[in-house]
């Protein structure tokens, strides 16, 4: 039994061999991603907005200004869809038709609930901060009462989810194998350059390890 | 006058200084991105699916299997929302509250129409292929009649669009400036490693320039 029971809308029909419904795969994608795309319906029409997030156990946390239209809409408990995609490579085949992308994507259906309790809110903000920069929380000033009030935090329980993954080389038709066309994969990943200190940073503040060694964890699939 | 007249749903309310409605900015984001997130409504509920795309003039093209549930739904002309986000950096402030991400995102509202004519379909597939790997089309085998039939291509006219951008260093509260916390930006970008030739590639096929020098163009904002 998969961790997530496939439903009418999470069961992958196209290329079902690329599908996964286990938490290790779905959460591996969520944990490596930085930004998710959240879809919801306003006046019967779809809206998709990117936002940061963090995951702990079977809950995804998002946050933003208390004035955010998206968060005001989502906190009423309307249906939402969260999508996270990581690009792993460009797949260059001998035919245009067989070009593809190596990727890992997770799609979640559900609802959000408002986190009202200040201690729970603070903990969710810690989870989001640590998701983006592991080790960061203990070196920053924590949210004040005023800042907590200005921030809306929503929790999205992870119950209905699936992943879709493509890996590996191009798959060409046998009759194309002798073509004089270069074929292969151009590996891709989100990479990080040397940190740029804030111009007003005191020279006595050293670059901490959580910044100097920054990288996204890569669970499971490469 | 901006190229895209802001509408009720494209006008950015939160941090409107980060908004842009000109084609140079919106198309610069679309042209650098590889994957978009497409939102649509099924049975009153939101669905978000990632897919490749290409842009030419004021039209975005997407494609996929003729059996794709998303493409079957979108070709009926239902409302859709396309979102593309590029991550440019992590913004590490002295307070948890002022942490942010440098990003460029484009959000488009509209409809898709089916491209039925084989020549137009072929041209749209050329645009998508060239979007992902500029220079690729002329070195690959072009779609056969059978492949064209198996592929659905949709055109999304770009009429209602906006961009939202954050750049620059963290913006901290004055009273936090003396904290002993490292602050600054960790630059990020999608980067590409050395191409991996297909195992069955003949040794006589040389690595072409469009693969060897692969990079995403960066129009406008860094």
Tens digit of each residue's pLDDT (9 = 90 or more) over A131-188: 999 999 999 999 999 999 999 999 999 999 999 999 999 999 999 999 999 999 999 9
Distance CA A26, CA A39 (A): 18
The confidence score (pLDDT) of residue A221 equals 37
How far CA B209 is from CA of A14, B128, B134, B135, B190, in Å, comes to: 33, 19, 10, 9, 20
Rg (CA), chain B: 20
ipTM of predicted complex: 0.95
Contact B141, B167 (CB under 8 A): no
Residues of A in contact with B200 (CB under 8 A): 177
Cβ-defined contact of B69 to A177 (cutoff 8 Å): no
Mean pLDDT across A9-16:
86
The confidence score (pLDDT) of residue A48 equals 98
Which positions ≥6 away from A38 have C-beta within 8 Å?
A48, A49, A50, A51, A62, A70, A74, A80, A81, A82, A83, B48
Q: Where are the alpha helices (DSSP H) in chain B?
A: 23-32, 69-74, 118-132, 145-150, 209-212
Distance CA A59, CA A82 (A): 12
Contact B49, B37 (CB under 8 A): yes
How confident is the model over B18-71, as pLDDT tens digits?
Answer: 899 999 999 999 999 999 999 999 999 999 999 999 999 999 999 999 999 999
Cβ-defined contact of A41 to B37 (cutoff 8 Å): no
Q: What DSSP character marks residue B130? A: H
Exposed / middle / buried, residue A43 (Cβ in 10 Å: 0-12, 13-18, 19+): exposed
Which of the residue ranges A3-7, A71-75, A178-182, B106-110 would you say has the lowest mean pLDDT? A3-7
Distance CA B139, CA B132 (A): 14
Evaluate if pTM is beyond 0.90: yes
Residue linked to tokens 């059996």? B67
Residues of B in contact with A212 (CB under 8 A): none
pLDDT bin (cut points 50, 70, 90) of residue A218 is low
pLDDT bin (cut points 50, 70, 90) of residue B221 is very low
pLDDT bin (cut points 50, 70, 90) of residue A222 is very low
How far CA A105 is from CA of A85, A160, B138, B206, in Å, comes to: 4, 14, 30, 33
* pLDDT > 50? residue A3: yes
Residues of B in contact with A170 (CB under 8 A): 198
* pLDDT > 80? residue B142: yes
Closest by Cβ to B45, choosing from A35, A79, A126: A79
Which positions ≥6 away from B19 have C-beta within 8 Å?
B6, B11, B12, B162, B163, B164
Residues of A in contact with B203 (CB under 8 A): none
The confidence score (pLDDT) of residue A196 equals 98
The confidence score (pLDDT) of residue B185 equals 98
Distance from CA of B59 to the nearest CA of A (A): 19
Closest by Cβ to A96, choosing from B42, B141, B182: B141
Closest by Cβ to A81, choosing from B34, B47, B129: B47
The confidence score (pLDDT) of residue B132 equals 97
Closest by Cβ to B191, choosing from A44, A94, A191: A191
The confidence score (pLDDT) of residue A52 equals 98
Contact B208, B222 (CB under 8 A): no
* pLDDT > 70? residue A113: yes
Residues of A in contact with B64 (CB under 8 A): 14
Residues paired with A59 in a beta bridge: A56, A157
Contact B122, B141 (CB under 8 A): no
Cβ-defined contact of B92 to A136 (cutoff 8 Å): yes
Mean pLDDT across A1-6:
87
Distance CA A149, CA A165 (A): 39
Residue linked to tokens 């061999």? A17
Distance CA A63, CA A83 (A): 16
Q: What are phi and psi of A30, to 5 degrees?
A: -60, -40
Average pLDDT, chain A: 95
Cβ-defined contact of A199 to B83 (cutoff 8 Å): no
Give the residue from chain A lying closest to B175, CA to CA.
Answer: A141
Closest by Cβ to B69, choosing from A13, A95, A181: A13
Distance CA B62, CA B117 (A): 15
Reported as type and span, the H/E element at residue A28 is helix A23-32
Contact A101, A86 (CB under 8 A): no
Distance CA B157, CA B148 (A): 22
SS3 (DSSP) at A100: strand
How confident is the model over B88-122, as pLDDT tens digits?
Answer: 999 999 999 999 999 999 999 999 999 999 999 99
The confidence score (pLDDT) of residue B4 equals 93
Distance CA A158, CA A61 (A): 10
Cβ-defined contact of B186 to A193 (cutoff 8 Å): yes
The confidence score (pLDDT) of residue A220 equals 40
Cβ-defined contact of A35 to B103 (cutoff 8 Å): yes
- In chain B, the domains with their CATH numbers are 16-212 (2.30.110.10)
SS3 (DSSP) at A90: strand
Residues of A in contact with B40 (CB under 8 A): 46
Cβ-defined contact of A39 to B35 (cutoff 8 Å): no
Distance CA B65, CA B88 (A): 32
Distance CA A55, CA B78 (A): 33
Cβ-defined contact of A90 to B50 (cutoff 8 Å): no
Distance from CA of B128 to the nearest CA of A (A): 10
Which of the residue ranges A30-34, B2-6, B76-80, B105-109 would you say has the lowest mean pLDDT? B2-6
Cβ-defined contact of B181 to A80 (cutoff 8 Å): no
Closest by Cβ to B67, choosing from A14, A67, A81: A14
Residues of A in contact with B125 (CB under 8 A): 96
Distance CA B216, CA B34 (A): 9
């Amino acid at each position: 039994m998969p961790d997530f029971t496939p439903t009418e809308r999470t069961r992958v029909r196209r290329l079902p061999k690329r599908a996964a419904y286990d938490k290790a795969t779905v959460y591996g994608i969520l944990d490596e991603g930085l930004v998710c795309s959240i879809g919801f319906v306003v006046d019967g029409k779809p809206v998709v907005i990117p936002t940061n997030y963090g995951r702990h156990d079977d809950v995804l946390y998002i946050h933003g200004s208390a004035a955010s239209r998206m968060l005001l809409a989502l906190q009423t408990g309307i249906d939402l869809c969260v999508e996270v995609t990581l690009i792993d490579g460009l797949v260059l085949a001998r035919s245009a038709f067989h070009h593809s992308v190596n990727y890992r994507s997770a799609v979640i259906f559900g609802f959000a609930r408002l986190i009202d309790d200040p201690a729970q809110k603070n903990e969710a903000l810690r989870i989001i901060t640590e998701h983006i920069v592991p080790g960061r929380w203990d070196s920053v000033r924590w949210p004040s009462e005023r800042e907590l009030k200005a921030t809306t935090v929503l929790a999205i329980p992870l119950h209905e989810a699936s992943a879709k993954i493509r890996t590996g080389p191009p798959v060409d038709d046998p009759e194309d194998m002798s073509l004089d066309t270069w074929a292969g994969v151009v590996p891709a990943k989100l990479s990080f350059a040397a940190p740029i200190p804030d111009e007003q940073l005191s020279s006595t503040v050293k670059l901490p390890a959580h910044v100097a060694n920054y990288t996204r964890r890569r669970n499971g699939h490469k």
